[in-house]
Structure 1
Amino acid sequence: MNDPLKSQKILDALEALRSSLALASSLRGAINGRFDSELRALQAEKSREREPDAEPIPRSIQNMFYYDLRTGIATLYGAKHFFLDDQIRLAQIHKNRHYQWVLAEAYEAFEDFLEHIYAGLAYVDFDFWPMSEFGNTRYPELSTKDFSWFLHQAGLKKNKPNSILSCFRTTFKELREVELKNKLDLHAGFEICLIAKLRHLIVHNSGLAKNKDEVIEKTLREAGISERSKQTLTARANIFFNKLTNTEETHVYLLGHTLPGFNFMSIHNLENFLGFMMSYAQILAEISLRHLHSKNLI
């Protein structure tokens, strides 16, 4: 039965993601402005150092205390002298960490979008899902269920979001084609897997990669990348890992890389990931609505 109002759930999901990603982009801008101002001041101060080989003088000293549970007495357990180079390094790490959490939250909003789109399609087109996903509910009863029921069922799906994306790719030939051939020369399936892996490192390992190559290899495997494309996509993934100034640890790196000759511009950064997720979501929503229209359901 044709019911245009039910398809509004798809547009609502797209609007919710658009709002989340716009906020993420605004946060990125605020973070960039705050830390760039601090870094410019620190680096200007560094350039004014008259005797770079002279004994450095600490700019601040931080003492760390804890209060003993039994006695309540404050006890010193550590102290740190901060020099100018330390402050520059910490500002870079701090900015990158802020960017990491913006990406993590943005990707989680993207996953929510995929789940809502998947539920929205079945809400309008019962045949979009295999019957097994309706649980014990019989086909004639589906018309009595509201959207929240379909969203709950979508939430029960295993191996999300890969299983949901697999369903989209199986049904929508156009999506498969855009994922592999597009004006940005991106392998969209790999890009989604890469963002998911970066988000996992951010949430579960403080944004650090103990074994970067292993992470990239797993990403290639889960995205189903052919041998022919592995070298190119491995090089792309490596762009988003870096050792920040004076650190030995490999960080999920989202600050971008400056274009030669254009110091005010950078590529391969957080904003690129946000834009990619928005573009993918817009295309998926459009394809989904055309699918429903082709079946005379909206």
Structure 2
Amino acid sequence: MKHQHIKYLQDSFELFSDKIKEISSCKRDTQKIFEARQQALHKQLENRKEGGPFDGISSISNFLYYSPSSGEPAMLGAKKTNVDELVERNSLHQLKMYQWLLAEAYEAFEGFLVTAYAYCGLEGISIWKRPENWNHEASQCIQDYYPSRWRKPYDYLKVFREGSQHFARYEMNSPTGTKYKVVFVLIEKLRHLIVHNGGYCKDVKQLVDKMQAELKGVDIKSVRAYVDSYFILHRGDKLIDLLEGPSENDSLPTVMRAYHDPMNEFLRALVEYASLIRESAALQDREDNL
């Protein structure tokens, strides 16, 4: 009977929402921990300026390992770190935490997207495309509606775009002002850099060129400026920057400028994009039955 699984997509959205709430909470905890550490380090730095050598060693750590043939203990040698280095390391560690949280959020969204597509097949919504030689007619098992060949999220998004006017309309023209298609492509590329390159990018222009393949018809100059805003120069390469900071909106008085929070912006965009997918499936179902 049609709609006996109607809660399945909502349940999937709620699972995705729970994951985002968990990531958001972890992000806030991470921010508090590292900001407190940063304040302590800056205080230590000020104390050194006043009463001790500025470049004095503040941390010494050793790494112990054992000889694989004799079992005897050995040391790699002491790692000596001064306060300046600890300040930089603290920010870098906070940033790395944010990067992996963003990667988790992306993967949670991708899981929701695939489930949403399969749900359309289960419910007979026209967004779903019947594969060739598909032999699960009238199956009530959602696993039978997952495609066996598609691997990239862009394949699923393209089908939603083609199969739902609602999705196609609001994906790039939402009253929120967020261009979800652009934001998602950026997050997908950032996730790849985080997982495979430690969050570094040797050539941002090349990255934008790769994005352009998924953003046909979009002003690539504006995309390039948008992408550049999420990178900083670090050790000779561009590093994904997700740390909070003052807004660069110079049109506002200083007292009115809000803080830029890339992680929160990305998480919000993913939730809104998922919500648009959920809405689009429900509306298309209604249209199919008119």
- Please say whether Structure 1 and Structure 2 have the same fold, judged by a TM-score greater than 0.5: yes
Q: Determine which structure has greater relative contact order: mean sequence separation of CA pairs < 8 Å that are 6+ residues apart, divided by chain length.
A: 1
Structure 1 residue 55, shift from structure 2 partner? 5.4
Q: Which residue of 2 aligns with 1:283?
A: 276
SS in 1 for 2:171: helix
1:159, CA displacement in angstroms?
Answer: 3.8
* Comparing 23-32 and 5-14, the one that deviates more: 5-14
Alignment partners' CA distance in 1, 2:176 and 2:67: 58
Amino acid at match of 2:221: Q
Compute the displacement of 1:16 (Å): 1.1
Quote the Cα distance in structure 2 between the aligned partners of 1:264 and 1:101: 28
Distance 1:124 1:75, change over 3 A: same
Instruction: Give the gaps of 5 or more residues in structure 1.
Output: none
User: CA offsets, 1:231-274, max 9 Å, x none?
Assistant: 11111111111135xx4342221113313636995215111100
Q: Which runs of 5+ in 2 are unaligned?
A: 249-253
CA distance in 2, matches of 1:144, 1:283: 26
1:251 aligns with 2:239: yes
- CA positional deviation for 1:52: 9.6
Alignment deviations for residues 109-150 of structure 1 (CA, whole Å, 9 cap, x no partner) = 0000100100001101164433325x441xxx5213412322
Does the 8 A contact of 1:67 with 1:74 survive in 2? yes
Structure 2 Cα separation of the partners of residues 127 and 235 of structure 1: 37
In the alignment, the residues of structure 1 paired with residue 13 and residue 195 of structure 2 have an alpha-carbon distance, to the nearest angstrom, of: 25
Please point out which of 245, 262, 280 is paired with 1:269: 262
Change (3 A) 1:144 1:61: closer
Q: Are residue 99 (structure 1) and residue 98 (structure 2) matched?
A: yes
Give the length in aligned residue pairs: 285
Task: Give the Cα–Cα distance (whole angstroms) in 2 for the partners of residues 92 and 158 of structure 1.
Answer: 38
| Residue identity matched to 1:116 | T
CA separation of 1:50 and 1:128: change in aligned 2, threshold 3 A:
closer
Moved >4 Å (runs of 4+):
51-55, 262-265
Return closer, same or farther for 1:213/1:93 CA change in 2, 3 Å cut-off: same
1:174 shift after superposition? 2.1
Question: CA 1:207/1:189 → structure 2, altered by over 3 Å: closer, same or farther?
Answer: same
When structure 1 is superposed on structure 2, of 276-285 and 120-129 the one drifting more is 120-129
Letter in 2 for 1:282: S
Question: Partner of 1:56 in structure 2?
Answer: 55
The Cα shift of 1:203 comes to 1.1
Corresponding residue number in structure 2 for 1:14: 13
Q: C-alpha deviations, 1:194-253, integer Å up to 9, x for none?
A: 100111111112212122221122112222244xx1111111111111135xx4342221
Once residues 58 and 118 of structure 2 are traced to their aligned partners in structure 1, the CA distance between those partners, rounded to angstroms, is 56
- 1:29 aligns with 28
Q: Which residue of 1 aligns with 2:251?
A: none
Name the Cα RMSD after superposition.
2.4
TM-score normalised per structure 2: 0.89
Shift of 1:54: 4.7
Amino acid at match of 2:229: I
Contact kept in structure 1, 2:199 and 2:240, CA below 8 Å: yes
Match of 2:226 among 224, 232, 236: 236
Aligned partners of 1:262 and 1:114: how far apart in 2?
A: 40
Contact 2:125 2:281 in 1 (8 A): no
TM-score, normalising length: structure 1: 0.87
Q: Tell me which residue corresponds to 2:187.
A: 195
List aligned pairs for 1:1-298, cutoff 5 A. 3-50=2-49, 54=53, 56-125=55-124, 127-132=126-131, 135-137=133-135, 141-150=136-145, 153-154=146-147, 156-226=148-218, 229-244=219-234, 247-259=235-247, 261=254, 265-296=258-289
Contact residue 126 and residue 163 of structure 2 kept, 8 A: no
